[in-house]
């Protein structure tokens, strides 16, 4: 464990993720930050955050154009298979226009048959209303405090 400026011990930062590269990045960032001068640690975190944030814009594209086709058998196109339905539907929910997402969230907050029908009308067939609500709450423009991390969903 690293020591703080007063000689006491700092608590280690642990990140729970099902994505090994994300866990590794967070662990290495914590280790580097503990060893760097505070000003350099801030610069490192800022630079990495900017790079990760820039990648997020490409996430849906990567899912649809790279990840889904990787699971397609050689004799079928990616549009003919549905191996990652929750991932694709999650991308759809996370990339909806703000007003549409806000209205959808209001509908799925109320447990009813109408909530499921609303999801079906949006092309969301696999994700159930409670799970859709959890995903919609991950949007920074819709989220409530304490909504948790989107990584906890998968």
**Tens of pLDDT, residues 115-139:** 999 999 999 999 999 999 999 988 8
Domains identified in the chain, total number: 1
Helix or strand run (H / E) with residue 132? helix 129-136
Q: Is 152 within a domain? A: yes
Helix or strand run (H / E) with residue 35? helix 20-35
Q: Is 110 within a domain? A: yes
pTM: 0.59
Look at residue 16 in the predicted model and tell me its pLDDT.
Answer: 55
Q: Is 27 within a domain? A: no
The yes-or-no verdict on residue 109 having pLDDT over 60 is: yes
Q: Is 64 within a domain? A: no
Half-sphere exposure at residue 107, Cβ-oriented, CA atoms within 13 angstroms: 19
Could you give the 3-state DSSP secondary structure of residue 9?
Answer: strand
Could you give the 3-state DSSP secondary structure of residue 13?
Answer: coil
Residue percentage of the chain with pLDDT more than 70: 75
- What is the spatial distance between Cα 13 and Cα 20, in angstroms, rounded to a whole number? 16
Domain range for 138 is 84-154
| Tokens 């099902």 found at | 18
Q: Is 44 within a domain? A: no
Q: Is 73 within a domain? A: no
């Amino acid at each position: 464990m690293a020591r703080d400026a007063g000689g006491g011990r700092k608590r280690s930062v642990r990140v729970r993720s099902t994505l090994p590269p994300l866990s590794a990045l967070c662990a290495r960032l914590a280790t580097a930050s503990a060893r760097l001068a505070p000003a350099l640690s801030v610069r490192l975190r800022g630079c990495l955050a900017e790079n990760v944030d820039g990648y997020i814009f490409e996430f849906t594209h990567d899912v649809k154009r790279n990840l889904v086709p990787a699971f397609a058998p050689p004799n079928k196109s990616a549009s003919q298979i549905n191996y990652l339905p929750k991932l694709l539907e999650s991308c759809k929910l996370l990339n909806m226009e703000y007003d549409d997402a806000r209205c959808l969230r209001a509908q799925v907050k109320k447990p009813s048959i109408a909530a499921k029908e609303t999801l079906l009308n949006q092309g969301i067939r696999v994700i159930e209303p409670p799970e859709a609500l959890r995903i919609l709450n991950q949007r920074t423009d819709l989220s409530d405090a304490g909504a948790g991390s989107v990584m906890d969903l998968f």
